[in-house]
A and B are shown apart, each in its own frame.
Chain A
Amino acid sequence: MTRVQRVESSSFNPLFREALSRWQEEVVQLDLVDPVTTEMVRLRCAEHHDCYT
């Protein structure tokens, strides 16, 4: 397995992309979980998904 980008562009269906962004925005605005736990989970998920952005 390489770590090189597998696609030239990450663009995809704009309606779908915008809807995903809205979903993520709504999720991060939930406030029932404290900020430290939220950040720990976010970092763990980023590591799991090999996401460094």
Chain B
Amino acid sequence: MFAYSVNMAPSTAQFFNEVLGERTHVKKELANIHDLAWDVVDKELLSLCKLRMAMILGCLQEVDSAKQYLDPSKSGAIAQWVSSDNFTSGEKSCLRFAEEFIIDVSSIPDNSAFAVREYLGEEGFVTFVNALLVVEQRMRLLLVWNKILGDNSG
């Protein structure tokens, strides 16, 4: 269906562009909220959370994409973030929240939410949650559309 050679995996943005085709308004707004998510949340912090979410969801392309903005010492240790000294307590709070967010969003414990709120402030917390939502939904769309339309993960 797509105009890519076997060995040339398109970027996620290219993939979305082709899947959404002539639905230009949706395509534009999706790209816009994704770009804005990275503007309103610290890029390294969001990359950490994106990487962890992509690992858990099995979204290999986004794993690679998230790693490019991270120090290898952090991206290499992220599966052991709980016991690792490479992450600050604030980063650990956000990673815990991100994991719980994708596994069971309606059951995130108060302590997890309050820790992130304390780290980022009230408005920062709300912004962070909305940015996580954008990154997570885009990743899930990528996974589902890959299944339906053909694997884009390379």
Contact = CB atoms under 8 A, between A and B. Distances in A.
Interface of A: 1-2, 6-13, 15-17, 19-20, 22-23, 26-27, 29-30, 47-50
B154 interface: no
B110 A2 contact: yes
B26 A27 contact: yes
A19 B32 contact: yes
Contacts of A30: 23, 26
B25 A26 contact: yes
Interface of B: 23, 25-26, 29-30, 32-33, 36-37, 39-40, 105-110, 113-114, 117, 122-123, 125-127, 130-131, 134
Given A7-B122, A30-B26, 10 more contacts: A1-B108, A2-B110, A10-B126, A16-B127, A19-B36, A20-B134, A23-B26, A26-B25, A48-B105, A48-B106
B117 A49 contact: no
Nearest to A6: B113
21 contacts: A1-B109, A2-B110, A6-B125, A7-B126, A9-B122, A10-B126, A11-B123, A13-B123, A13-B127, A16-B130, A16-B131, A17-B130, A19-B33, A20-B33, A20-B130, A20-B134, A23-B29, A23-B30, A30-B26, A49-B105, A50-B105
